[in-house]
């Protein structure tokens, strides 16, 4: 999976570079050539959607997402493990319901209706495809986190034998 994470890093960096070029071209054509490019604003907007959504999945996989850990840091042992599993299950349910199911419906509706973007005439279903993809990645990463937590914590694998 490390190769996939590395691919995701490079893909996100490439999208950032494309967005930077798009915005620079927009500024150049608007202020230097006094004839703004018609597609760069829209392209930058769609790239930002992809970067934000896919970046959230990447951050979730690297455990870099924002978290308030005041309560979990005060717990130890099985109670901390149970809370972590519960929070990961909530994230899985949310990502599946909102991003995978809701995103898939959005892709289907925009594809069926044939909606296209104003400037680039790009089918909006292509833009929204990142929602279910990111949702599936988040679900995968959270399931992997739960499995890693159970194997990393030796206290959970041992029996309650008093020594």
- 24-66: pLDDT as tens digits: 999 999 999 999 998 999 999 999 999 999 999 999 999 888 7
What is the helix, strand, coil percentage profile of the chain, to 5?
Answer: 75, 0, 20
Average pLDDT over residues 2-15: 96
61 located within any domain: yes
| Residue 144: pLDDT over 60 | yes
Q: How far apart are CA 128 and CA 63, in angstroms?
A: 25
83 located within any domain: yes
Q: Which residue has the higher pLDDT, 63 or 94?
A: 94
78 located within any domain: yes
158 located within any domain: no
Average pLDDT over residues 13-23: 98
Q: Which residue has the higher pLDDT, 154 or 55?
A: 55
Domain count, the chain: 1
Q: Which pLDDT score is estimated for 89?
A: 96
11 located within any domain: yes
Domain ranges, residue 6: 2-153
Q: Pull the structure tokens for residue 121.
A: 């005439």
Please state whether 114 falls in left (phi above 0), alpha (psi between -120 and 50) or beta. Answer: left
162 located within any domain: no
Burial bucket for residue 77 (CB in 10 Å: 0-12, 13-18, 19+): exposed
159 located within any domain: no
Q: Which pLDDT score is estimated for 69?
A: 76
163 located within any domain: no
Q: Pull the structure tokens for residue 41.
A: 């604003």
Q: Which pLDDT score is estimated for 136?
A: 98
Q: How far apart are CA 89 and CA 67, in angstroms?
A: 15
Q: Which pLDDT score is estimated for 40?
A: 95
| Residue 107: pLDDT over 50 | yes
Nearest residue to 15 (alpha-carbon basis) of 107, 141, 134: 134
Q: Which pLDDT score is estimated for 76?
A: 87
């Amino acid at each position: 999976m490390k190769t996939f994470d590395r691919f995701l890093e490079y893909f996100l960096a490439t999208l950032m570079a494309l967005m930077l070029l798009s915005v620079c071209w927009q500024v150049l054509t608007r202020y230097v050539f006094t004839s703004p490019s018609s597609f760069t604003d829209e392209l930058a907007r769609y790239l930002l959607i992809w970067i934000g959504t896919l970046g959230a999945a990447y951050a979730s996989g690297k455990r870099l997402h924002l978290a308030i850990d005041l309560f979990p840091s005060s717990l130890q042992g099985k109670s901390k493990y149970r809370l972590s599993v519960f929070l990961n299950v909530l994230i899985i349910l949310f990502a599946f319901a909102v991003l995978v199911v809701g995103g898939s419906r959005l892709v289907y509706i925009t594809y069926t209706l044939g909606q296209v973007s104003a400037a680039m005439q790009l089918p909006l279903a292509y833009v929204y495809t990142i929602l279910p993809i990111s949702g599936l990645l988040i679900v995968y990463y959270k399931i992997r986190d739960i499995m890693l937590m159970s194997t990393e914590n030796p206290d959970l694998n041992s029996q309650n034998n008093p020594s």
